[in-house]
Structure 1
């Protein structure tokens, strides 16, 4: 099974801070999942286009079995993760 932890953050994608939420997902999976799995961690900037393109790529080409998203849901204008997910 291929699981992707997709972090949506302008600052994390620019390397301005460490992706702590992606690391927390990785830890949680290691403690919770008992079946074999592979994990890919991906960091992308905020915005409808980047989220939509990443989700499409991960589903259609990477063929991820599960995508866990974190970030992109705050009050900032570019925090548009819910809108991007609706578009996919």
Structure 2
């Protein structure tokens, strides 16, 4: 809990429940993703990989490389969270 608070720029409290409360208050309007969960490769690396393998395709001139939009994925996750809230 303390490591997550420090990674988020929140000072650790004496009691863990106070640290947890500070984290909840800090991220009340947003989303907390632990830094250890960010395992996606950099966008440049993914783009280079996609272009390298797209060039190996026999009809590479006709194919367009389309990379997923991280903002679209985030909005779909927000929609899913809103659906869960409404379902409860």
TM-score, scaled to structure 2: 0.26
Q: Per residue, is there more strand in 1 or in 2?
A: 1
* Bigger helix share: 2
Larger Rg: 2
Which protein has greater RCO, CA pairs closer than 8 Å, 6+ apart? Answer: 1
| TM norm structure 1 | 0.26
